[in-house]
Each structure stands twice: as C-alpha cells, then as structure tokens.
Amino acid sequence: MVVLKIVLPVLAAVLAFYAYTWESFSEEMVRGKRVLVTGSSTGIGEQMAYEFAWMGAHLMLTARNETSLQKVVQNCLKLGAASASYVVSDMNDLASARNVVEETKNVLGGLDLLVLNHYGGKSGFGPYQGDMESVISSMTVNFFSYVQVTVSALSMLQESRGNIIVVSSMNGRIPGPFAVPYAASKAALEGFYSSLRTELRLRKIDMPITVAVLGYIDTDTAVGFLDGKISLKASPKELCAQAIVRGGVMRVREVFYPYWITKPVLLIRDWLPGVLEQIIGNSYFLEKIL
C-alpha cells in the first residue's frame, strides 16, 4: 500500500521536523525588552501592558487620560515591570503622535516592540449619518496616527531588529454595520500593514508585523456600545491581551481571538458571502439600534 509505505512516513517526518523547529513562547523572550503600548489607559491595551509587565519588560504607555495612565503605571511596577512610564497624547493630532515616539526614545533609549492598539474618534455605534466628520476623525485616530507612529519609530525598530503589533478587528475584514467609519479605518490598517509586511520582507528588511484580528471583547467601551444590541457573547479582555502578546512576541503574521469564532467566519466570507451577510444581519437586534 502506497499510503502506508510512503505517505505516512513522509507525513511523520514533516511533523517531526515541524515539532523540532517549533519555537515555543517563554517569558524570557520579553524580559528587558523596550515596549510601547498605545491606548494603554484602559481596556485591552491596559491588559497587554500587564502581560508585558509581569514578564519584566520596560514599558512606555500612552493615551489621553493621565489619571488612568498613572494608575496603570503603578500596577505595572507592582507586577514586575523593569520600568514603566507614560506620555499623554491625543492621537487625533499627528504631532502628538510623533511626540510619543520622541518621548519613548528619550526615556527608553530605543524600542524593541511597538504595540499599536488605541482607538477612538467621534463615531460611536449606530447608523451612519452621512457626515464626513466622523469618517475623517476615525481615519485620523485609528489609521493615520498608526502610520505616523510607525514611520516615526521605524529607525529605532530597525536598529533593534524589533517588530510591530497592530490591533485590528473583524470589522476590518467583514462588513461592520452601525460602525461604518470604524470599519473603514480598520480595513485601511489591514491593507497598509499586510502590504508593508510583505514589502519589507521583499526588501530584506527584518521587521515582522503581527496583525491581531479580534471579535467582541468585554472592554467597558465595547460592552457600553453593544450590550443588548447584538447576540454575541463578549470574550475576556485578559485572555485576549495574552493571545495578542504571545503572538506578537512569537512574531506570527496574524492572531485571531477568539479563534473559533473569527476563523470560521473568515472562511465563510470568501466562499459564501451571502451566507455571511445573513449571519451578520441575524446577530444585530435592529429594534434596539434603529
């Protein structure tokens, strides 16, 4: 039997090789690393800061709310961060975004891992009103400032052979009704960073980019927007942060969380777009939204 004599041994050899070369995550990979986490005053960004903290990273945090940042810095130090500082910034202003990188350089002397996570802007959750303002504000805070921070940090990252984590959303890959400006900014991120990742590799520049594709996560902001309006259950932000940090430290291309919700949906997207639209439509309680 060909299957037994050839296919199985080949399969076993491939698996053995894979297992042998498989590098597994360890906290040693994080100790002493200089990490900038944007949008780290609350939510998933705050939880990612704690993940990096207990593994002994040097942390630079940023957001608008100074009181919250001070609190998160204290928590990071208690958890075992090698150091923790913050810089207040409003990512609606690109000069302020550049300043975050300047401050990081001044305080940490370099950067090993850039974690782009913040999100905001003037659009909440609800029907798109046909205005330009909410789209421009969403694109500025959720897209242009990401690009600004990235280009400002490029030389530091090249020097340290560092890498980048970009926090995206299912709304950047599948339709996001009632979050139109937000979905546009996340789709822009997906296009920019997947293209940049591939281009850098072709140019032999070693700067891996990890894009995290998230479903519904139980942060105050998301629950505040969506509770009672969609039939999905929110997944825990702590596990979400852990999944993103591990994937980013391992320099994988993409992280999906929660995996068994996001992945099957993305599989349906390409082959059965009509079914996908039906599934999306069925998950909103329209009478609570319109």
Ligand X SMILES: *[C@@H]1O[C@H](CO)[C@@H](O)[C@H](O)[C@H]1NC(C)=O
Ligand Y SMILES: NC(=O)c1ccc[n+]([C@@H]2O[C@H](COP(=O)([O-])OP(=O)(O)OC[C@H]3O[C@@H](n4cnc5c(N)ncnc54)[C@H](OP(=O)(O)O)[C@@H]3O)[C@@H](O)[C@H]2O)c1
Look at the chain and count its residues.
290
Nearer to ligand Y, 255 or 276 (CB): 255
Nearer to ligand Y, 102 or 206 (CB): 102
The correct pick among 29, 56, 68, 144 for binding ligand X (CB under 6 A) is: 68
The correct pick among 1, 20, 24, 67 for binding ligand X (CB under 6 A) is: 67
Asked if 96 interacts with ligand X (CB under 6 A), we say no
Nearer to ligand Y, 162 or 258 (CB): 258
Nearer to ligand Y, 31 or 233 (CB): 233
Stretch that binds ligand X, among 31-39, 62-70, 230-238, 266-274 (CB under 6 A): 62-70
Is residue 182 annotated as a catalytic residue, yes or no? yes
Q: Where do contacts with ligand Y occur on this chain (CB under 6 A)?
A: 39-45, 63-65, 68, 89-92, 117-120, 141, 167, 169, 214, 216-217, 219-222
């919700």: which residue's tokens? Answer: 261
Q: To the nearest whole angstrom, how small is the minimum distance from the Cβ of residue 167 to ligand Y?
A: 4
* Window 141 to 180, contacts with ligand X (CB under 6 A): none
From the list 182, 193, 216, 257, the catalytic residue is 182
Q: To the nearest whole angstrom, how small is the minimum distance from the Cβ of residue 75 to ligand X?
A: 11
Interface contacts to ligand X, rule CB under 6 A: 65, 67-68, 71
Please identify every residue annotated as catalytic.
182
